[in-house]
Amino acid sequence: MKAGLLIIGDEILSGKTVDTNSAYLGQKLTEAGFIVKKKLTVGDDKNEIKKAFRELMKDEDIKIILTTGGLGPTKDDLTKGAITEYLGLKLIYRDEIYEKIKERFEKRGLKCPDINRSQAYIPEGAKILENELGTAPGLIIEKEGKIVIMMPGVPKEMKNMFEKEGLTYLIQKLKPKKKIYSKILRTTGIPESEIQEKLRDFEGLAYLPKFTGVDIKVSAISEKELNEKVEKIKEILGNYIYGEDEQKLEEVIGKLLKERGLKIGVAESCTGGLIKDRITDVPGSSNYFMGGVVAYSNEMKMKVLGVREESLMKWGAVSEQVAIEMAEGVKKVADADIGLSTTGIAGPTGATPTKPVGLVYIGIATPDYSKAYKYIFSGDRRMIKEKAAQEALNILRLYLLSK
Amino acid sequence: MKAGLLIIGDEILSGKTVDTNSAYLGQKLTEAGFIVKKKLTVGDDKNEIKKAFRELMKDEDIKIILTTGGLGPTKDDLTKGAITEYLGLKLIYRDEIYEKIKERFEKRGLKCPDINRSQAYIPEGAKILENELGTAPGLIIEKEGKIVIMMPGVPKEMKNMFEKEGLTYLIQKLKPKKKIYSKILRTTGIPESEIQEKLRDFEGLAYLPKFTGVDIKVSAISEKELNEKVEKIKEILGNYIYGEDEQKLEEVIGKLLKERGLKIGVAESCTGGLIKDRITDVPGSSNYFMGGVVAYSNEMKMKVLGVREESLMKWGAVSEQVAIEMAEGVKKVADADIGLSTTGIAGPTGATPTKPVGLVYIGIATPDYSKAYKYIFSGDRRMIKEKAAQEALNILRLYLLSK
């Protein structure tokens, strides 16, 4: 069962925006057992949209047409008009949709601009896909034996509506047979080449390396085969695997903390708040995350975290000793069971002859012991922050697993 | 002068690989004064490649056709064969190309596989683009008034040959006159529809909305026209514009703080560290950012920031009063000139009958006054965090501008 994608937007053709929507749709469709046959990308030009849409409609192989972009309220949002015209459908004003859009604005204390009224005109017979994250609703039209789904171009909005409604609709209507089963195993702390070495006997693996870890996509033609493969790989990689599929390291940690009834505080220097930002992305994190401190200045390290002046003088702010004192300090000040800390040189400036850019100490203070680990990370400022935050969370995870 | 892109590869349609090549080509072409009219993406299927190539050849607007992918030595590399067949050209074996490929392998101590011999067959009359980073050479063919450039799909190889030879070739041959000058103006705090309303008399604008603000791309055919347009828009939008092109809000703030010799501390509750993470992404931020506190628990709000228990009891943690006390507290504890704070309900849980998800108070304590602002943001947990962080940084920016 084949699909065609129609991606709309000047900003994609001019390269201002990298189109990540179609890779996402390609993955989801492939996993569900559909095949993407082709993809057309055109600008915000009604005629071009119509021509491209016509091409997909005339392709006999294609049963599904997904479009992204061009559903907003402004004059360069032309998708709905172009496709409705091509299909010879009328646009009907639906007051309940305008009410919803108005509500979105009013909730934020804003007046809904007149221009947004255009979003409430819906092609006759179309099914509406609710947009929980924006104003433009998605649309499903069935015509000439094909299912057409129009979605907005903003990735979060599009993904949310496709995952919650669009894909289910396609699966229920078209019942694709050759489903491919796959699972992602997420690792951190081990390089891609070492994983490949360890897993060289496995077929059907894809490696998705990020600089905070490598995701391994395991595929199989049956659920049984998939589970067997996954189990074997888990045995081989052990604790290098922290989660599956969309699971984030901070979610895994949240679960472990809740299970063990432990609370955490975090003191950051070089990571600047990133660890806490990630921890608090998890709904309900206020149950185990008490808070913490970003201590950029030495004064704050002393005043709030109780780092000793002597340690700062003797070892410097970027040192094992200070990392330990920061972790112990935040454990105390946050009334937590565990304190986590980072201190390092994120660059590009700040290096000394003995302390290079990328040098980071990560401290952990637990009910059992206090300890610091030393790293030298490569990359630019942001990469060093992200690598250090990931490693700190992973140290916490490994500690929690040992309890 | 218009261009069409033909992107080839099963891995792109299935979403295994995100196609970043075409965004790169779009940018380079646009900067040079060409316009990308459309982009077709097909799989490793000779027939589909031919059909898509035909479509671009038949489009009278299109003078340039760029293809990426399908030039390797394996059986699913079909681009050269498909296009040569369509154009009715012969493939001629060129020994000097095979010698170069063999040399690449031998340099790495490897034997050149027989399979690579196919890469030395070149369409008659084609010009060769050297591939310094891989084996597949690029090809330029001129036919029927169009310039066709075939390039490999590996981004590094493609970019290297396009930048060094391909683009120069196009510019010399086609001499694009209408170079387009453009600048991005970055706004926050004003919805897209309101901007459009205010700028309805301007031509050549593109709007790139993100949920933390709208970027406006201003284009013109001369530098003078661009500058005039930009000035007029700046007059109309005033302080809604915080920066230009790639400039980030946290960079703008860093510059303002340095110029004014002011130091800042940040106390976060609902944004969980995100504001500090953004501030510390800027190299040299340790000069004006002292640090701060993430106070998730009420205890930390009282203990570290000096928020009064009375205020927490009377108004609740999410209140104007507590936001102000947090800002004042962090100003003091961080020895800063300005304290910035957030307290709110990021959701999905935590709402009460009078305090909905998305309710956020942002506090600022300055040498002149302390104040808090109330917002109700929409979206999921991450969106609420990002919107609140953006708004807090913007409040800081507006204060600094007033000094």
CA-nearest of A323, A379, A33, A366 to A210 is A379
What was the pLDDT predicted at B102?
86
Task: Determine the angle formed by the axes of helices A381-402 and A249-260, rounding to 10 degrees.
Answer: 30
Count how many pairs of residues, chain A against chain B, have C-beta atoms within 8 Å. 277
What are B265-290's pLDDT values in tens digits? 999 999 999 999 999 999 999 999 99
The answer to whether B375 contacts chain A (CB < 8 Å) is: yes
Q: What is the ipTM of this complex?
A: 0.75
pLDDT of residue B104: 81
Nearest residue in chain B measured CA to CA from A281: B382
pLDDT tens-place string over residues B54-85: 999 999 999 999 999 999 887 778 999 999 99
Percent of chain B with pLDDT over 70: 100
Residue A188 clears pLDDT 80, i.e. is over it: yes
pLDDT in the model for residue A104:
84
Would you state the pLDDT for residue B192? 87
Can you give the pLDDT at residue B117?
87
Confidence check: pLDDT of A193 > 90: no
High-pLDDT (> 90) share of chain A, %: 77
Evaluate if residue A226 carries a pLDDT over 90: yes
What does the pLDDT look like over B341-391, one tens digit per residue?
Answer: 999 999 998 899 999 999 999 999 999 999 999 999 998 999 999 999 999
- Mean pLDDT over A101-125 rounds to 86
CB half-sphere exposure, B118, CA atoms < 13 A: 14
Q: Is A36 on the interface with B (CB under 8 A)?
A: yes
Q: What does pTM read for this prediction?
A: 0.75
Amino acid letter for position A341: S
| B280·A294 Cβ contact <8 A | yes
At A177, the pLDDT band (50, 70, 90 cuts) reads: confident
* pLDDT at A358 exceeding the cut of 90: yes
Are residues B22 and A41, on separate chains, in Cβ contact within 8 Å?
yes
Of A119-123, A132-136, B275-279, the poorest mean pLDDT is in: A132-136
* Residue from the list B29, B217, B291 with its beta carbon closest to the beta carbon of A294: B291
d(CA B385, CA A337): 26
Q: What is the 3-state secondary structure (H, E, C) of A66-127?
A: EEECCCCCCCCCCHHHHHHHHHCCCEEECHHHHHHHHHHHHHCCCCCCHHHHHHHEEECCCE
Give the residue from B110, B129, B109 showing the smallest Cα distance to B119: B129
Counting Cα atoms < 13 Å in the Cβ hemisphere of A221 gives 3
Residue A207: per-residue pLDDT:
80
Cα–Cα dist B309/B297, whole Å: 12
Confidence at B17, pLDDT banded by 50, 70, 90: confident
The verdict on a CB contact (< 8 Å) between A13 and B207 is no
Nearest chain B residue to A205 by CA: give it.
Answer: B16
CATH class of segment(s) B260-402:
alpha beta
Q: In this predicted structure, what is the pLDDT of residue B132?
A: 84
Quick check: B289 and A280 CB within 8 A? Answer: no
Torsion of CA B148, B152, B153, B156, to 10 degrees: -120
Helical pair B381-402 and B249-260, crossing angle rounded to 10 deg: 30
- Residue B29 scores a pLDDT above 90: yes
Nearest to B18 among A16, A23, A48 (CB): A23
Q: What is the mean pLDDT of residues A124-149?
A: 93
Backbone phi, then psi, for A39, in 5-degree steps? -135, 130
- Tell me the average pLDDT across A80-109: 90
**Does B28 contact chain A (CB < 8 Å)?**
yes
Q: For the structural domain made of B2-174, what CATH number should be given?
A: 3.40.980.10
Q: Does B293 touch chain A (CB under 8 A)?
A: yes
Interface test with A, best of B66, B276, B340, B359 (most A CBs within 10 A): B276
**pLDDT given for residue B31 in this prediction:** 83
A277 touches chain B (CB under 8 A): yes
Residue to substitute from B5, B7, B25, B41, interface A, most A β-carbons within 10 A: B41
B37–A39 C-beta distance less than 8 A: no
Taking contacts as CB-CB distances below 8 angstroms, the residues of chain B near A25 are 15
Domain range annotation of chain A: 2-174, 181-244, 260-402
Nearest chain B CA: its distance from A191 CA (Å): 20
Task: Tell me the per-residue pLDDT of B103-137, one tens digit each, with 9 for 90 and over.
Answer: 888 876 778 888 888 889 999 999 999 988 888 89
| CATH classification (class only), B181-244 | alpha beta
Residue A31's closest chain B neighbor by CA? Answer: B14
Restricting to A residues 137-156, those with a Cβ less than 8 Å away from any Cβ of B are: 154, 156
Among B15, B27, B381, beta carbon nearest to A25: B15
